[in-house]
């Protein structure tokens, strides 16, 4: 298993892949070089030689991301049986404050990606999760007074 530290080290070893993943998350097409990003309907697709393409749907206003590894066809977002390979689960919980014992809201973003036996796909999934985590952290500058800072977790299932 590639740990998060290894994923960061590998990202530094493959800067063009990191740049391409950054373009994918920023919804910018990249049609040159080994790794490419193209827009297909509501999805942006990441093409890596010798791997299936990665189709990413994102709604940045609500931090909704759904990613699918597919050979060619686009997934149907309305079909509940079509499970994404990478998804963001948003939750809220009430946490008691230590000093006042008053309940405060905390948002939790869980970046969940499926285990894949291919080490290349697992590595790309971990890179995507790290980049999405950074993007969510950047989109939440500070928590409101009545909330705790959001918690952002990554999980392989």
Give yes or no for residue 2 having a pLDDT over 50: no
Closest CA to 68 of 82, 81, 80: 82
Backbone angles phi, psi at 18, to 5 degrees: -60, -40
Reported as type and span, the H/E element at residue 7 is helix 4-13
% the chain with pLDDT above 90 = 59
Average pLDDT, the chain: 88
What is the mean pLDDT of the segment spanning 67-78? 90
Distance, in Å, from the CA atom of 127 to the CA atom of 17, rounded to the nearest integer, reads 9
Asked if 137 and 14 count as a contact pair (C-beta separation under 8 A), the reply is: no
pLDDT at 9: 61
Q: If we measure between CA atoms, which residue out of 41, 65, 70, 76 comes closest to residue 55?
A: 70
H or E stretch covering 114: none
Q: How far is residue 75's CA from residue 57's CA, in Å, rounded to a whole number?
A: 10
CA-wise closest residue to 57 among 40, 70, 72, 71: 40
Task: Dump pLDDT digits (tens) for 95-132.
Answer: 888 888 888 899 999 999 999 999 999 999 999 999 99
CA pseudo-torsion sign 116, 117, 121, 122: positive
pTM for the model: 0.86
Q: What is the pLDDT of residue 77?
A: 85
Tens digits of residue pLDDT in 47-68: 999 999 999 999 867 778 999 9
Q: Residues of the chain with pLDDT > 70: what percent? A: 91
């Amino acid at each position: 298993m590639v740990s998060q530290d290894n994923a960061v080290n590998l990202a530094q070893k493959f800067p063009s892949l990191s740049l391409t993943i950054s373009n994918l998350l920023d919804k910018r097409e990249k049609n040159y070089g080994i790794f490419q990003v193209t827009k297909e309907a509501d999805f942006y697709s990441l093409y890596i030689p010798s791997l299936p393409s990665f189709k990413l749907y994102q709604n940045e206003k609500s931090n909704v991301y759904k990613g699918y590894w597919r050979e060619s066809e686009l997934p149907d977002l309305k079909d509940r049986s079509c499970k994404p390979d990478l998804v963001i689960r948003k939750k809220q919980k009430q946490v008691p404050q230590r000093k006042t014992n008053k309940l405060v809201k905390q948002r939790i973003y869980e970046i969940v990606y499926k285990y894949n036996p291919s080490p290349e796909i697992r590595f790309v999934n971990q890179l995507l999760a790290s980049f999405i985590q950074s993007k969510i952290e950047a989109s939440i500058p500070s928590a409101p007074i009545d909330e705790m800072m959001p918690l952002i977790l990554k999980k392989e299932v």
